[in-house]
């Protein structure tokens, strides 16, 4: 196994709320190797976004904090740093230089009063210590890299003058400008139309192949996962319930939630006795499952639930190297 670029170990995030402390993420283990795309997939409230914010050191303060665990990142220089414990200053320098991020809504992540070129140039000057002219030249190269037509002209456009897809490209250009080794992409195509989504996914994938960066791809869309991921981690109620290589996980899910999620897809609908197509839905909703501590958090919705599931919190059990499921009865899946 290659040395991991990012290794999250037993991560627990806690949030202070008006109703006391809650832990939207507990016991998360995840590794991303160089050149690999790992998809963190889950529905809303699964804790996938909170996990990614923790990695980036962007948990909303003072409410959120990493309560337990380590987020180990291996730097270009070969040191291993715990992002959860390192001085905020250090983490900030890594972010943007070695760790880059893209988000769902590029409009809010781009500065509305700076042109595309200025934003990229600013970041490049900050992290790569280039002068103004060199930085602008680099900005144009970056826009070319992300396949923006007429890049020299687009350099002078403001975010509001661009379409959603174009803004996401600028965002990616901004992220790529400092040669990141790890890209964290949080729902980067969710706000885009499908034909534009396809372009952006292809672009991220091309950049990964060309630069060898690792990609942590956070999404709720299983179709997108199947298209981009090498490995997948499925989250439910703040915990990882299943991990594995994309093909094996999609073909032979070992956790009832993963199986249920795949069966919920309209494309997997089956024709019922009334001649109409129906989906196999997971009954119920997430509710307050993250608060369930002494049982399987999925047990209230699970079709295969047994007595043991309601009394024993299942561990994330290794099935084969790189494959694990948090279900007492994964063998029967």
Partner 1 sequence: MSAERLGPASGDPILAVEGLTKRFGRPPAEVRAVEQVSFTVAPGEVVGLVGESGSGKSTIGRLCLRLVDPTGGTIRFEGEDVSGLPERRLKPLRRRAQMIFQDPYASLNPRLRVSGILGEALDAHGLARGRRRERMAELLDLVGLAPEHLDRFPHEFSGGQRQRIGIARALAVEPGLIVADEPVSALDVSVQAQVLNLLQDLRARLNLAMLFISHDLDVVELLCDRVVVLYLGRVMEIGPTAEVVARPRHPYTRALLAASPKADPDAPRIARLLTGDIPSPIAPPSGCVFRTRCPLAVESCAHAVPPMREAGDGHRFACLRDASEMREAA
Partner 2 sequence: MTGAATSPMNAPALLFLRRLFRRKLVLVAALVLLAIVVVALAAPWVSPFDPGAMRVVRRLRPPSPEHWLGTDELGRDVFSRVVYGARASLGIGFSVVLASCLVGTVFGILAGYERRLDGPIMRVVDALMALPDILLAIFLVAVLGASAGNVVLALAIVYTPRVVRVVRASTLVVRELPFVEAARALGVGTPRILAVHILLNVASPILIQATFIFAYAVLAEAGLSFLGAGVPPEIPTWGTMIASGQQYADRAFWTVLYPGLAIVLSALSLQILGDGLRDMLDPKLRKAV
Residue 25 binds to partner 2 (criterion: CB under 8 A): yes
Closest to partner 1 by CB, 56 vs 262, is: 262
Q: Which does 198 bind (CB under 5 to 8 A by kind): partner 2, partner 1, none?
A: partner 1
Residue 205 binds to partner 1 (criterion: CB under 8 A): yes
Q: Coil, helix or strand for 210? A: helix
Residue 51 binds to partner 1 (criterion: CB under 8 A): no
Q: Which does 25 bind (CB under 5 to 8 A by kind): partner 1, partner 2, none?
A: partner 2
From 31-39, 65-73, 191-199, 313-321, give the range in contact with partner 1 by CB under 8 A.
191-199
Q: Is the dihedral of CA 233, 105, 193, 96 positive or negative?
A: negative
Please, what is the minimum distance in Å from the beta carbon of residue 15 to partner 2? 6
- Alpha helices by DSSP H, the chain: 48-56, 88-97, 106-109, 116-128, 132-145, 151-154, 164-176, 194-211, 222-228, 246-251, 256-263
User: Using CB under 8 A, which of 29, 86, 128, 264 touches partner 1?
Assistant: 264
Closest to partner 2 by CB, 38 vs 297, is: 297
From 8-16, 22-30, 110-118, 224-232, give the range in contact with partner 1 by CB under 8 A.
224-232
Closest to partner 1 by CB, 81 vs 226, is: 226
Short-list 93, 170, 91, CA closest to 129: 93
Residue 47 binds to partner 2 (criterion: CB under 8 A): yes
User: Using CB under 8 A, which of 246, 290, 297, 302 touches partner 1?
Assistant: 246
Please, what is the minimum distance in Å from the beta carbon of residue 22 to partner 2? 5
Please, what is the minimum distance in Å from the beta carbon of residue 289 to partner 1? 12
- Kind of pairing between the strands at 214-219 and 231-236: unpaired
Give CA–CA dist 288/188, Å, rounded.
27
The torsion defined by the Cα of 175, 181, 184 and 189, in degrees rounded to 10, comes to 60
Closest to partner 1 by CB, 2 vs 195, is: 195
Please, what is the minimum distance in Å from the beta carbon of residue 176 to partner 1? 18
Give CA–CA dist 213/183, Å, rounded.
7
From 31-39, 142-150, 160-168, 280-288, give the range in contact with partner 2 by CB under 8 A.
280-288
DSSP 8-state secondary structure symbol assigned to residue 298: T
Here the tokens at position 218 are 């956070």
Quickly list DSSP for 126-176. Answer: HHH---HHHHHHHHHHHHHHTT-TTHHHHTT--GGGS-HHHHHHHHHHHHH
Please, what is the minimum distance in Å from the beta carbon of residue 219 to partner 1? 10
User: Using CB under 8 A, which of 31, 40, 49, 282 touches partner 2?
Assistant: 49
Residue 106 binds to partner 2 (criterion: CB under 8 A): no
62 exposure class (CB count in 10 Å sphere: 0-12, 13-18, 19+): exposed
Residue 212 binds to partner 1 (criterion: CB under 8 A): no
Whether 295 contacts 309, CB under 8 Å? yes
Where along the sequence are the contacts to partner 2 (CB under 8 A)? Answer: 13, 15, 17-19, 22-25, 44-45, 47, 49-50, 53, 60, 63, 237-238, 286-291
């Amino acid at each position: 196994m290659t040395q991991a670029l990012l290794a999250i170990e037993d991560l627990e995030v806690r949030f202070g709320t008006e109703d006391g402390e809650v832990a939207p993420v507990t016991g998360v283990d995840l590794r991303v190797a160089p050149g690999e795309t790992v998809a963190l997939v889950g529905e809303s409230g699964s804790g996938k976004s909170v996990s990614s914010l923790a990695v980036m050191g962007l948990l909303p303060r003072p409410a959120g904090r990493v309560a337990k665990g380590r987020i180990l990142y291996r730097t270009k220089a070969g040191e291993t740093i715990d992002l959860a414990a390192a001085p905020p200053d250090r983490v900030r320098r890594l972010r943007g230089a070695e760790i880059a991020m893209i988000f769902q809504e590029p409009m809010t992540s781009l500065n509305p009063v700076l042109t595309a070129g200025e934003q990229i140039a600013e970041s490049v000057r900050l992290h790569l210590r280039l002068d103004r002219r060199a930085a602008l030249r680099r900005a144009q190269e970056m826009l070319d890299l992300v396949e923006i037509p007429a890049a020299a002209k687009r350099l002078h456009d403001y975010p509001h003058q661009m379409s959603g897809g174009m803004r996401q490209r600028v965002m990616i250009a901004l992220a790529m400008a400092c040669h990141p080794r790890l890209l964290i992409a949080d729902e980067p195509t969710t706000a885009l139309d499908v034909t534009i989504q396809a372009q952006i996914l292809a672009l991220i994938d091309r950049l990964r192949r060309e630069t060898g960066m690792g990609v942590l791809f956070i999404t709720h869309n299983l179709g997108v996962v199947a298209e981009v991921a090498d490995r997948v981690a499925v989250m439910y109620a703040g915990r990882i319930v299943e991990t594995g290589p994309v093909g094996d996980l999609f073909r032979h899910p070992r956790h009832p939630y993963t199986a249920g999620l795949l069966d919920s897809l309209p494309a997997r609908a089956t024709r019922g006795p009334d001649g109409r197509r129906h989906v196999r839905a997971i009954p119920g909703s997430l509710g307050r499952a993250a608060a369930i501590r002494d049982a399987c958090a999925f047990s209230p919705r699970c079709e295969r639930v047994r007595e043991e599931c309601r009394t024993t919190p299942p561990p994330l059990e290794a099935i084969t190297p790189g494959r694990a499921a948090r279900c007492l009865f994964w063998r029967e899946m």
